[in-house]
């Protein structure tokens, strides 16, 4: 047992194990190979579909079958990763060149996921079969054992085009990530041909063919001048904008129509964009928006933002570019596996790796084809030679006792044991020297091959074989000939599968949004008992004063750029910027103050709403449920942020019952839950800091607590409810602070 225990340093073992894990993730899962542009899971899925015979011209097969077969044979990492890869390869809005033909719900551009694999079906696209999986039977790539060594799989697919550029890639490994944008197939093919014809070509010269990324979602790349440096180094930031059109709608209103979105907006970011646009209206960054609607369909993106008649459309579009993801950044990091290790490659580096791979693949292909043609030539020459001496061959066959005797005569000239019609035939037979393969072909030849037309066809086929051998040897011997073959294949692929460019490349001007000069004015802030707030103009308030006062808990006249202070029973003060509140009509509901402050209506209660501009110069009375009182100067609560500040110090279990602004009142009246009332002069209370706990205003029994407090002047008539009776504050005996008070229940 001791011999099996390996003693090692813990840190060394951790380092080794982590490096092994990291390299496994980098090489075997997260990063694509520069040669075929595929990650292992993609490569294995496509190869499995090829092996299952799920071709473009055959019926679809269930995705679950493909996923299960791939997982069982080649990729033992869970079905979700395989199905996710299959789905992405079928999504035309993510891939410039979809490799899988999906049938069923494979998700959409707005972020809805694909249906479960048991519902969807798939098969290979035609280009995948012709440009990715062709020639696998010609020994063009190495086959390696699968994870349990029961099958073999290709280490790389013999892809004929630079798929890494055409479809791009994204992946996160350990300590590194790749993010390669998709490009236009026709442009990439032209650039690859240009590199093959001149390997000293520069990146800027290559960009005469590849203008820049070509995203499936279209859009506009606006930093054209920065692209050469990005493609030189393989890293940088591409700035993309959505495409916006302006339409005239009914009623004379203007419609800003978004027909193409940035590639980075695919998925949930579309709904986030709509939310961000709505937030611009709610926060009053713009008051031009009348309506927002997402009218997108299978035909394409169409997001309509309806503006007011007098809206500055250009300024509004610039606002969208500035404040939403309609203008976004695509971070380029062209990291791929090259020669077995991760490497950041520029445009020329990727093309070099792909071209070198094409020469390697074609060298192996034409060596394989040449071997097959040489075998055919050998057999054809033997059959032609046999036809010339067919009578002798038949005599040998008829005179032999078994196949081996006849074969030895054809190959070695052995005539022992064979019955010949004449001595001349035996002498001629002894001179035969067919090869092993020729002899087998002669012995297996059928009699109908002796027909004159069949012999002519054999001679013609032999001539074709000789021509093929000459052609293959020329391709293998001369690099120019092989380059021509590769270029012809590229031209054929481009002719059949290239599409027009979708993304516009230009140097766009910086979006400049001019904010309208803020017009300061008086408004009324309305806060109802449910915690919803809004503002209305003075005219609306004056016309509907009675209705507003009956429905609102607070109605405060303030400047529209001011701040509203909310004091709560938990001893906090929340600050709300009025521009964040919606300005609406009389019957508009408003928004919860929770949305524009840190106030939580489920755990706290508002005691006082006050104009924050009036806090300095105003003194406030604070009263807690345990009978503590104090006067605090309003300047203590000045703040310029939205954050919450502590307005007073509270003991455990204590809460505020009242925060009252002091104007010309002289007396304080406290009312407890057990029906005790205490009225005393306001001057009996000290002025303290907000951090002080206060002094005792009223003595309370152990099970009693204060319910309310009021401030009154000498002539004020205020009624308080206690039990079933109402009590006038003026009738309560005036006492000193810190008394138990009078019970009036």
Annotated active-site positions, please? 119
Phi, psi of 394 (to 5 degrees): -65, -40
**Is beta strand 734-735 parallel, antiparallel or unpaired with respect to 676-681?**
parallel
Question: What end-to-end distance do the CA atoms of the chain give, in Å?
Answer: 89
Tell me, what DSSP letter sits at residue 297? B
What are the residues whose beta carbons fall under 8 Å from the beta carbon of 451, sequence distance 6 or more? none
Distance of CA 675 to the CA centre of its chain: 64
Determine the Cα–Cα distance for residues 473 and 442; give it in Å rounded to an integer: 28
Tell me, what DSSP letter sits at residue 311? -
Q: Tally Cβ neighbours within 10 Å of residue 171.
A: 18
The answer to whether residues 67 and 54 touch, using CB atoms and an 8 Å cutoff, is: no
Q: Is 614 helix (H, G, I), strand (E, B) or coil?
A: helix
* Burial classification of residue 34, based on how many CB atoms lie within 10 Å of its CB (0-12 exposed, 13-18 middle, 19 or more buried): buried
The answer to whether residues 50 and 99 touch, using CB atoms and an 8 Å cutoff, is: no
Q: Tally Cβ neighbours within 10 Å of residue 192.
A: 26
Determine the Cα–Cα distance for residues 458 and 440; give it in Å rounded to an integer: 17
Determine the Cα–Cα distance for residues 13 and 130; give it in Å rounded to an integer: 47
The strand pairing partners of 240, in sequence order, are 221, 328
Determine the Cα–Cα distance for residues 114 and 118; give it in Å rounded to an integer: 11
The answer to whether residues 427 and 452 touch, using CB atoms and an 8 Å cutoff, is: no
Percentage helix, strand, coil for the chain under 3-state DSSP, each rounded to 5: 40, 25, 35
Q: Is 50 helix (H, G, I), strand (E, B) or coil?
A: helix
**Is beta strand 532-537 parallel, antiparallel or unpaired with respect to 235-241?**
unpaired
* Burial classification of residue 659, based on how many CB atoms lie within 10 Å of its CB (0-12 exposed, 13-18 middle, 19 or more buried): buried
Q: What is the DSSP string of 451-469?
A: SHHHHHHHHHHHHHHHHHH
Determine the Cα–Cα distance for residues 104 and 117; give it in Å rounded to an integer: 10
Determine the Cα–Cα distance for residues 280 and 285; give it in Å rounded to an integer: 5
Determine the Cα–Cα distance for residues 685 and 630; give it in Å rounded to an integer: 6
Determine the Cα–Cα distance for residues 163 and 178; give it in Å rounded to an integer: 15
């Amino acid at each position: 047992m001791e011999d099996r225990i390996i003693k090692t340093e813990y840190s060394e073992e951790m380092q080794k194990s982590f490096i092994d894990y990291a390299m496994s993730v980098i090489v075997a899962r997260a990063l694509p190979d520069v040669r075929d542009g595929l990650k292992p899971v993609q490569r294995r899925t496509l190869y499995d579909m090829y092996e299952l015979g799920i071709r473009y011209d055959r019926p679809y097969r269930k995705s679950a079958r493909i996923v299960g077969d791939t997982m069982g044979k080649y990729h033992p990492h869970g079905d979700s990763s395989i199905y996710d890869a299959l789905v992405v390869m079928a999504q035309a809005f993510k891939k410039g060149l979809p490799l899988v033909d999906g049938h069923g719900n494979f998700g959409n551009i707005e972020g809805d996921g694909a249906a479960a694999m048991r519902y969807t079906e798939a098969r290979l696209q035609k280009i995948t079969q012709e440009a990715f999986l062709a020639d696998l039977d010609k020994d063009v790539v190495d086959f390696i054992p699968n994870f349990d060594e029961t099958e073999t799989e290709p280490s790389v697919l013999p892809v004929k085009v630079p798929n890494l550029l055409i479809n791009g890639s994204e992946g996160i490994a350990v300590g590194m990530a790749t993010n390669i944008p998709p490009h236009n197939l026709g442009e990439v093919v032209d650039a690859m041909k240009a590199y093959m014809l001149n390997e000293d070509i520069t990146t800027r010269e290559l960009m005469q063919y590849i203008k820049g990324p070509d995203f499936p979602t279209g859009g506009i790349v606006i930093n054209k001048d920065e692209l050469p440096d990005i493609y030189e180094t393989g890293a940088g930031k591409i700035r993309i904008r959505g495409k916006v059109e302006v339409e005239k709608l009914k009623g004379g209103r203007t419609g800003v129509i978004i027909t193409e979105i940035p590639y980075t907006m695919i998925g949930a970011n579309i709904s986030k964009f709509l939310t961000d646009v709505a937030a611009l209206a709610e926060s009053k960054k713009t008051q031009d928006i009348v309506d927002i609607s997402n009218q997108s369909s299978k035909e394409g993106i169409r997001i309509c933002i309806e503006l007011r008649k007098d809206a500055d459309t250009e300024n509004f579009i610039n606002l969208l570019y500035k404040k939403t993801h309609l203008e976004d950044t695509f971070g380029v990091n062209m990291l791929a596996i090259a020669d077995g290790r991760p490497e950041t490659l520029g445009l020329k580096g990727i093309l070099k790796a792909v071209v070198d791979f094409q020469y390697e693949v074609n060298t192996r292909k034409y060596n394989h084809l040449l071997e097959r043609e040489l075998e055919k030539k050998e057999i054809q020459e033997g059959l032609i030679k046999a036809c010339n001496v067919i009578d002798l061959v038949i005599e040998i066959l008829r005179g032999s006792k078994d196949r081996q005797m006849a074969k030895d005569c054809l190959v070695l000239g052995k005539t022992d044991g064979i019955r010949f019609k004449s001595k001349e035939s035996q002498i001629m037979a002894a001179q035969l020297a067919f090869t092993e393969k020729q002899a087998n072909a002669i012995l297996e030849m059928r009699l109908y091959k002796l027909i004159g037309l069949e012999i002519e066809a054999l001679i013609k086929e032999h001539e074709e074989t000789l021509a093929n051998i000459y052609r293959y040897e020329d391709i293998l011997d001369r690099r120019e000939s092989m380059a021509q073959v590769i270029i012809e294949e590229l031209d054929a692929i481009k002719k059949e599968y290239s599409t027009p460019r979708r993304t516009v490349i230009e140097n766009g001007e910086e979006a400049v949004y001019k904010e309208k000069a803020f017009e300061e004015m008086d408004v009324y802030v309305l806060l109802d008992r449910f915690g919803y707030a809004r503002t209305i103009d003075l005219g609306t308030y004056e016309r509907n004063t009675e209705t507003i006062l009956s429905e609102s808990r607070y109605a405060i006249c303030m400047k529209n750029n001011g701040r509203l202070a909310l004091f709560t029973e938990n001893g906090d003060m929340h600050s709300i910027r009025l521009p964040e509140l919606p300005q609406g009509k009389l019957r508009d509901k408003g928004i919860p103050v929770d949305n524009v402050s840190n106030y939580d209506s489920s755990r706290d209660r508002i005691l006082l709403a006050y104009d924050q501009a009036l806090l300095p110069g105003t003194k406030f009375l604070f009263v807690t449920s345990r009978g503590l009182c104090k006067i605090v100067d309003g300047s203590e609560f000045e703040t310029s942020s939205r954050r919450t500040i502590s307005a007073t110090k509270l003991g455990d279990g204590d809460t505020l019952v009242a925060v009252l602004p002091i104007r010309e009142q002289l007396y304080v009246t406290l009312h407890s839950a057990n029906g005790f009332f205490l009225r005393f002069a306001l001057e009996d209370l000290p002025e303290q800091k907000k951090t002080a706990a206060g002094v005792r205003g009223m003595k309370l029994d152990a099970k009693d607590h204060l319910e309310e407090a009021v401030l009154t002047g000498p002539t004020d008539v205020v009624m308080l409810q206690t039990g079933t009776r109402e009590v006038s504050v003026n009738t309560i005996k005036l006492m000193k602070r810190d008394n138990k008070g009078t019970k009036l229940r």
